[in-house]
Structure 1
Amino acid sequence: MNPEPVVVWSREPDERRDTHLVVLLHGYGSHEHDLLGLVPNLPEEFTYASLRGPQTAGPGYGWFALDPQDLSYDSAEVLQAAEDVWSWIESVQDQHLSVTLLGFSQGMAVATTLLRTRPHQLAAVVGLSGFVLDPGEDERVAAAVDDEALAAAQVPFFWGRDQEDPIIPAAAVDHTHRWATEHANLTKVLYAGAGHGVVPQEISHVGEFLTHMVLKPARTARR
């Protein structure tokens, strides 16, 4: 990612301080304006920041090189993409009460990798129609993730998908399911007819998740 990534915000600079931040990470071949279409149907108490992936991919951008045919990738590139996103988050997080990630498809892989490397620094993660990194035999990547700490932290994780998603391979879904069940405070919902996309009911559920898992605990802690 460039030192100053392309970012689109839901609020003006003087309106962001002391709000909860949700970082939006788009899918392969998309762009930073895509997921902003969800924001009007999400809780207005949050500030939303949508980042553009650093690589040209198809008609848009991506976070790491990905074979569209079988979704094969280099796990080290996924880790680097997550590190680059975190570098940007560090530049803005001091003005926010918490940081939550929302990633779609390839963006979910980056979001969950961030969760696995920094489980105590995120309030929650939302993953839509995506997958979780499988480090394979890459020892450097395996050493960078801390799934044991994540399992202890039980960070809230919302995973929404269509069981008939034509894009995400069954093996990636199975790996994601095993990982999420063992390491996160999982909310998993299937949406028939969504395909490789997002449906209104799903966004309604995401809004409820953000309210109950991020806003309400924060209010309780301040009392």
Structure 2
Amino acid sequence: MYPETLTTGHRGIWSHPEHQRTTQLVLVLHDAGSTPETVADHYFSHLPDGVTGLALQAGFEATFGHNWFTTSDHQHPSFPEVISAAHRVFDALDDDEYGNTSYTSVQVVGVGQGAALATTMLRVRPEALNAVVGVNGYVIDNPMLAALDASADANQAKSVLWIGTGEAEQRSADFSLHWLTTHTRVTEAETTSAITPFLAQNVS
């Protein structure tokens, strides 16, 4: 693993040294109270050949790591906080203030709270992402965030791999599945073995 503080100030862990990185990126977003090192250690091994992994550190300090949001409740009341977290990650990808990027493909693997952020990014700037993987995560239920949603045409909807390996809070799981089936082309799985073929399929 290759730690680096990006020019944008983000602290990240790369899967490859600089001279071996490609323009096909997979962002890996850790869970609440975790670290980019932990999530990189678990998920970089799932990256297909030819892609570059980047695990970013969240912005809020926690007891044992960092959080993306101040609450893990799927009904997050703070729209500004949610939007700010999404744009914070986009800032690490964009080459300029207009959202241009040198990456030819961007996919996101989010774990727990990181999956909530990944699906939020998909709602804010769907054109910026090729696909999303959520592991033991949830979709945020916020009325202002919902105002950004539009029922996507089946041919334009983004692919999402949704993996549940543990017990999920039922109300959160119900809302998440409803949102995913309405706005994405979702595939459900029970193990992380589905990640590598999914990512390989959605590289462009």
TM-score range, shorter chain: 0.7 to 0.9
Aligned to 2:64: 59
Q: Which runs of 4+ in 1 moved over 6 A?
A: none
Return 5+ residue gaps in structure 2 as ranges: 1-6
Q: In structure 2, what residue type is equivalent to 1:210?
A: L
| Separation in 1, partners of 2:150, 2:110 | 19
- Is the CA contact (8 Å cut-off) linking 1:132 and 1:175 kept in structure 2? yes
Deviation per CA, 1:7-66, whole angstroms, max 9, x where unpaired? 11112222224x310011100000011111221233131100000001112311010101
**For residues 113-192 of structure 1, what are the structure 2 equivalents within 5 Å?**
113-136=120-143, 139=144, 141-143=145-147, 145-149=148-152, 153-162=156-165, 164-165=166-167, 168-189=168-189, 191=190
Moved more, 86-95 or 102-111: 86-95
| Separation in 1, partners of 2:92, 2:150 | 23
1:20 matches 2:27: no
**TM-score scaled by length of structure 2:** 0.85
- Is the CA contact (8 Å cut-off) linking 1:65 and 1:74 kept in structure 2? no
1:7 matches 2:23: no
**TM-score scaled by length of structure 1:** 0.78
- Is the CA contact (8 Å cut-off) linking 1:111 and 1:127 kept in structure 2? yes
Q: Name the structure with the higher helix share.
A: 1
Please point out which of 87, 91, 95 is paired with 1:91. 95
- Is the CA contact (8 Å cut-off) linking 1:65 and 1:73 kept in structure 2? no
Q: In structure 2, what residue type is equivalent to 1:6?
A: R
Please point out which of 95, 103, 108 is paired with 1:101. 108
1:42 matches 2:47: yes
- Is the CA contact (8 Å cut-off) linking 2:13 and 2:55 kept in structure 1? yes
Structure 1 residue 96, shift from structure 2 partner: 2.2
The DSSP-based 3-state class of the residue aligned with 2:194 is helix
The DSSP-based 3-state class of the residue aligned with 2:36 is coil
Aligned length: 193
Structure 1 residue 152, shift from structure 2 partner: 5.9
Structure 1 residue 182, shift from structure 2 partner: 1.0
Aligned to 2:117: 110
Moved more, 48-57 or 2-11: 2-11
Moved more, 35-44 or 5-14: 35-44
- Aligned residues with identical type, % of pairs: 32
| Separation in 2, partners of 1:179, 1:111 | 14
The DSSP-based 3-state class of the residue aligned with 1:21 is strand
Aligned to 1:210: 199
The DSSP-based 3-state class of the residue aligned with 1:147 is coil
| Separation in 1, partners of 2:16, 2:28 | 14
| Separation in 1, partners of 2:179, 2:155 | 14
